[in-house]
Amino acid sequence: MPIQHAVLALLADGPAHGYQIRTAFEEAVGPQWGGLNIGHVYQILERLTRDGRVTCTVEPQAARPDRKVYQLTDAGREEMESWLAEPAEHTGGYRDDLVLKLMAAARSSEEALLGVLARQRHHELSRLKSLLALSRQHRDTPLVGLLLDAAVLHTRADLELVDRAEQRASQLAQPVPPQLAGEIDADARPADVG
């Protein structure tokens, strides 16, 4: 779980409570990652506490509920260092909503497929323009800039996928094979009511 390991890395800077961790994370990675849900942060912290990766002390506050402050343990530091020593790897195959939309549109018609591709191209070009503008704004923040670079590269890859799908539109928009179409028709018929 990368977020869990990011929390450990943030605690390596020193003790912190959940809101400080969330703020430090969002400042470190910038707007492209998206915000962290504070409830999720506290779930991670509870799990890390249970697993002995962090300790928790309670600080009384006069006008507010007591605050929990978390601190990295030696076991937590070892886990973080072990995580850093391994290359990042995508797990579980490659899933992409665009590919699912292309599959659905291709089953309808080539025209429907080309419509999906045109809308996707417009969306990706707009997104690319926004990302490039954000990149210029965050030139002085190296990690945020790097994350924005990754988003730009992914967006350009999505545009390349749109190009390739347009080139193969007539191949992609093939009718459903007859044997499968018969199975679909049979499954779609309501059962006889006796």
- Distance of alpha carbon 138 from alpha carbon 27, whole angstroms: 12
pTM across the whole model: 0.64
Place 122 in a pLDDT band, splitting at 50, 70 and 90: very high
- Does residue 53 sit in helix, strand or coil? coil
* pLDDT at residue 77 tops 90: yes
Which range has the worst mean pLDDT, 116-125, 168-177, 183-192? Answer: 183-192
What is the residue whose two structure tokens read 């400042």? 27
